């Protein structure tokens, strides 16, 4: 790593050095654990009342990630799996900020992402959708937020795909995210959708979220100001860790 890269690398944040603890979870804005339109939620729903457990110090003070842990192409899904050329599909940039419940940037947050290829197929042994595997696209990567909570990555816009919920069910194009903030209690797993996709409003998973404004926070708007002319379009996706305006994900309460 060059001296200039080290100078620009985000400074690790240790919550134990300042105020520890996070706001209580706001259950009123969360999707119900069981939603009839989403069949898989039947198996995921708890059978008994939830237990409230006190948080421990380790949930507030870790994990801590450093710039040296990332590879040079970790945030470039166009190139990080390419073997014989660029992957097929629409080239895009996804960028945004990771904020806490007080709208302050979360620096050194590990942002992991994975997705289907342009045809709507994942590079996974359990994905048997008839769309072909792209030999030059792996579909996963990671980035670390800078001191302003900013992250970005290049990728191929994923395609929609069918799934076995009810007859002719299709998932909108989406990208999965996993975030580690300043503590394990801030962990978030979510999805990003694309502005203008007509499948969003009829998706059973999206519709497990009862709050229309929360659904809007999952939809990334087109951002021409960040697009690269004659190269790629850009979408902006900001995420909030914990709090009443946190980014949600279907009926899972991971990190929220």
Catalytic positions are: 122, 161, 171, 174, 176
Closest CA to 152 of 75, 72, 221, 69: 75
Which residues, 6+ apart, have CB-to-CB distance to 218 below 8 Å?
190, 191, 192, 193, 206, 209, 247, 248, 249
What are the structure tokens assigned to 30, written together? 């969360």
What are the structure tokens assigned to 194, written together? 């694309």
Residue 155, Cα to own-chain centre: how many angstroms? 14
- CA dist 19 and 15 (Å) reads 6
- CA dist 210 and 52 (Å) reads 24
Contact present, 124 and 137 (Cβ < 8 Å): no
- CA dist 244 and 242 (Å) reads 7
- CA dist 44 and 72 (Å) reads 37
- CA dist 216 and 55 (Å) reads 31
Is residue 95 classed as helix, strand or coil in its secondary structure? Answer: strand
């Amino acid at each position: 790593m060059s001296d200039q890269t080290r100078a620009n690398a985000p400074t690790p944040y240790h919550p134990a050095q300042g105020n520890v603890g996070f706001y209580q979870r706001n259950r009123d804005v969360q999707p119900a654990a069981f939603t009839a339109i989403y069949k898989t939620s039947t198996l995921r729903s708890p059978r008994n009342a939830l237990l409230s457990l006190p948080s421990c110090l380790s949930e507030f003070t870790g994990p801590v990630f450093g710039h040296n842990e990332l590879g040079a192409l970790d945030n470039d899904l166009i190139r990080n799996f390419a073997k014989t050329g660029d992957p097929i599909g629409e080239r895009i940039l996804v960028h945004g900020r990771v904020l806490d419940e007080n709208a302050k940037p979360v620096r050194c947050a590990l942002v992991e992402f994975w997705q289907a290829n342009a045809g709507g197929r994942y590079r996974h042994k359990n994905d048997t959708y008839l769309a072909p595997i792209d030999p030059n696209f792996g579909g996963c990567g990671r980035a670390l937020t800078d001191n302003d909570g900013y992250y970005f990555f290049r990728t191929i816009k994923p395609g929609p795909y069918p799934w076995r919920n009810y007859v002719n069910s299709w998932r909108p194009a989406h990208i999965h995210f996993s975030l580690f903030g300043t503590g394990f209690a801030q962990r978030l797993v979510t999805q990003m959708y694309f502005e203008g996709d007509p499948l969003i409003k009829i998706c059973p998973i999206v519709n497990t979220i009862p709050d229309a404004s929360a659904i809007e926070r999952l939809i990334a708007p087109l951002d021409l100001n960040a697009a690269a002319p004659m190269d790629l379009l850009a979408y902006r996706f900001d995420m909030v860790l914990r709090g009443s305006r946190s980014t949600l994900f279907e009926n899972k309460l991971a990190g929220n």
